[in-house]
């Protein structure tokens, strides 16, 4: 496992909202059918949450479990916990078909905070923010790239591919200006 780094060195920008790179975080992409034996045990044992329902994101302390699609979940946890979490997942599934991959270094996380956070997102993402409830996660686009976002701690958390981190940060910062 690589040393945790953030691609933009914890960049921040201010305007109608504050944009900041939030990281480094550990992330595991977990693929398994909903009826796969061991799925609930793997998620509970790793994150302390039950299996999230459609478009849900659940939190237990500093750990999150997000529903990404009918057979995909994103586990977000401290970077240093990823190896142990992968071992817990493997044990819970046993021989059952699943895929658990450390995607920590493939993703960047941004926080959009302040009274203008919704405006920043509305300028860039086709999401009905008035109906985005706490605990609901959306997969969408920011500018022209894929992302996932949800409300948390008085702001919005956005996850995108690390390869486009600079672009995402810049469009968020520009929208905040």
Residue 52 lies in a domain: yes
Residue 1 lies in a domain: no
Question: H or E segment at 43?
Answer: helix 39-47
Q: What is the pTM of this model?
A: 0.92
Residue 5 lies in a domain: no
Neighbour tally for 41: CB within 10 Å: 16
- Show pLDDT as tens, one digit a residue, over the chain (177 residues): 556 667 788 899 999 999 999 978 999 999 999 999 999 999 999 999 999 999 999 999 999 999 999 999 999 999 999 999 999 999 999 999 999 999 999 999 999 999 999 999 999 999 999 899 999 999 999 999 999 999 999 999 999 999 999 999 999 999 999
Residue 64 lies in a domain: yes
The two tokens of residue 150 are 């949800």
Total count of domains within the chain:
1
Residue 8 lies in a domain: no
The two tokens of residue 140 are 């969408």
> What tens digit of pLDDT does each residue of 111-132 get?
999 999 999 999 999 999 989 9
The enclosing domain of 151 has a CATH number of 3.30.1360.120
Helix (H, G, I), strand (E, B) or coil at 160: strand
> What tens digit of pLDDT does each residue of 54-77 get?
999 999 999 999 999 999 999 999
Question: H or E segment at 169?
Answer: helix 165-176
Domain that holds residue 136: 14-176
- Number of residues in the chain: 177
Residue 44 lies in a domain: yes
Closest CA to 146 of 132, 127, 120: 127
């Amino acid at each position: 496992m690589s040393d945790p780094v953030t691609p933009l060195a914890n960049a921040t920008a201010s305007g109608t909202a504050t944009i900041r790179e939030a990281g480094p975080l550990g992330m595991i992409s977990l693929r398994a059918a909903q009826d796969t034996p061991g799925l609930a045990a793997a998620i509970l044992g790793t994150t302390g949450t039950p299996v999230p329902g459609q478009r849900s994101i659940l939190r237990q302390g500093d750990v999150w479990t997000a529903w990404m699609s009918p057979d995909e979940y994103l586990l977000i946890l401290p970077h240093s916990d990823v190896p142990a979490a992968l071992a817990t997942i493997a044990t819970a599934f046993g021989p059952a078909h699943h895929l658990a991959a450390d995607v920590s270094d493939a993703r960047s996380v941004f926080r959009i905070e302040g009274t203008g956070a919704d405006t920043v997102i509305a300028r860039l993402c086709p999401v009905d923010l008035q109906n985005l409830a706490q605990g609901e996660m959306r997969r969408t686009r920011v500018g022209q790239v894929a992302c996932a976002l949800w409300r948390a701690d008085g702001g919005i958390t956005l996850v995108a591919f690390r390869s486009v981190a600079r672009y995402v940060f810049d469009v968020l910062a520009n929208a905040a200006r």
